[in-house]
């Protein structure tokens, strides 16, 4: 009897000493920026806390973006992909397009294909790409359907990876869609003031480097030398008067001998 009791106690001690996965606290997911663009892809920095980390455990978690149904959508509660939740598909590879991420358990045999690791304290981080508010997904029958996240509930989804169901690591975090504030500010902000007198491209005035202002400046009345023609006109008038005077002097010089010649015969007749 005593021997049986000793065996039972030893077995109990072995059970207590055996390593067991740490029980998860309340798993939570946060991300930045706080919203996604409805029309264009947005890259989110995602962080997880309180997840269950299973050393050398098979699989890990998938980080997805998609829609979840109201009520029990989780695989641990009978939910299934395509039926109670739909997500943006991507290659199950480390170098995919970023729409789907795989976080492995520490020491997992599939860690080489993971985009990160769930640390022993249950934390992890990864970047996830949101394609916009609308995407296509397959339902449970394989039919492709449209998902509009501005009409239905969408967000970040974490579930057990590689088909392993783990209720401790199933979460849903809603994502809202809005044009980023930085983009709105850039769209409505006036252009910065310029210290250059050159008009902006939106101005109707021609640029200072164009030929039009240069031509108009040269041909403007202010730039045309108006005094020079007046001086030249005065100089030509002076030469004209000089010519007239010279002509008169020349005529007088020629007329004097003629007058004297005519006067001498009269004087002879008078003698």
Contacts with 206 (C-beta within 8 Å, 6 or more apart), sequence order: 212, 213
Percent above pLDDT 90 for the chain: 53
Q: What is the DSSP letter of 55?
A: T
Percent of the chain beyond pLDDT 70?
57
For the cut 90, the answer to whether the pLDDT of residue 132 exceeds it is yes
Strands (E), the chain: 28-32, 42-49, 60-68, 85-87, 101-104, 116-117, 124-130, 134-138, 144-148, 154-160, 171-174
> Looking up tokens 């009409």, which residue turns up?
151
How confident is the model at residue 240, as a pLDDT?
52
Q: pLDDT for 224-250, tens place per residue?
A: 343 444 444 444 445 555 665 566 666
User: Model-level pTM?
Assistant: 0.59
- What are 124's two structure tokens? 């992890």
DSSP assignment of 9-48, as one string?
Answer: HHHHHHHHHS--PPPP---EEEEESSSB-SSS-EEEEEEE
pLDDT bracket for residue 25 (50, 70, 90): low
Burial zone of 116 (CB within 10 Å; 0-12 exposed, 13-18 middle, 19+ buried)? buried
pLDDT tens per residue across span 89-121:
999 889 999 999 999 999 999 999 999 999 999
Kindly tell me the sign of the dihedral angle through the C-alpha atoms of 37, 42, 117, 83: positive
52/21: higher pLDDT: 52
pLDDT bracket for residue 15 (50, 70, 90) = very low
Structure tokens at 190: 């006036």
Q: How much is the pLDDT for 154?
A: 97
Give the dihedral of Cα atoms 107, 112, 115, 119; nearest 10 deg. Answer: 10
| Band of pLDDT at residue 159, cut at 50, 70 and 90 | very high
For the ranges 69-78, 109-118, 179-188, the lowest mean pLDDT is seen at 179-188
Give the Cα separation of 99 and 63 in Å (integer): 9
* Count of positions (residues) in the chain: 271
Query: What's residue 141's pLDDT?
Result: 85
Cis preceding linkage at 33, omega within 30: yes
What would you report as the CA-atom Rg of the chain, rounded to the nearest whole angstrom?
50
- pLDDT > 90? residue 158: yes
pLDDT at 93: 87
Average pLDDT over residues 243-258: 62
**Closest to 46 measured CA to CA, from 33, 59, 58, 37:** 33
- Asked if 123 and 29 count as a contact pair (C-beta separation under 8 A), the reply is no
């Amino acid at each position: 009897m005593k021997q049986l009791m000793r065996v039972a106690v030893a077995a109990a001690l072995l059970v207590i000493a055996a390593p067991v996965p740490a029980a998860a606290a309340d798993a939570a997911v946060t991300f930045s920026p706080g919203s996604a663009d409805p029309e264009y892809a947005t890259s989110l920095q995602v962080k997880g806390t309180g997840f269950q980390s299973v050393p050398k455990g098979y699989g890990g978690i998938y980080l997805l973006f998609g829609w979840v149904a109201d009520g029990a959508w989780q695989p641990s509660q009978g939910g299934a992909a395509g039926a109670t939740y739909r997500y943006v598909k991507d290659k199950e590879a480390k170098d995919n397009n970023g729409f789907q991420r795989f976080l492995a358990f520490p020491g997992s045999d599939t860690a080489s294909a993971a985009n990160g690791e769930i640390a022993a304290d249950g934390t992890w981080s990864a970047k996830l790409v949101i394609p916009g508010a609308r995407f296509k997904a397959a339902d449970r029958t394989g039919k492709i359907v449209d998902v509009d996240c501005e009409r239905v509930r969408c967000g970040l989804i974490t579930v057990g990876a590689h088909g392993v169901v783990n209720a401790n690591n199933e979460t849903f975090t809603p994502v809202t869609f809005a044009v980023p504030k930085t983009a709105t500010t850039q769209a409505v902000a006036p252009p910065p003031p310029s210290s250059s007198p050159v008009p902006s491209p939106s101005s109707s005035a021609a640029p200072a480097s164009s030929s039009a202002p240069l031509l108009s400046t040269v041909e403007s009345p202010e730039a045309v030398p108006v005094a020079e023609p007046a001086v030249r006109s005065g100089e030509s008038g002076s030469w004209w008067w000089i010519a007239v005077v010279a002509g008169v002097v020349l005529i007088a010089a020629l007329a004097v001998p003629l007058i004297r010649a005519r006067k001498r015969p009269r004087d002879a007749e008078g003698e």
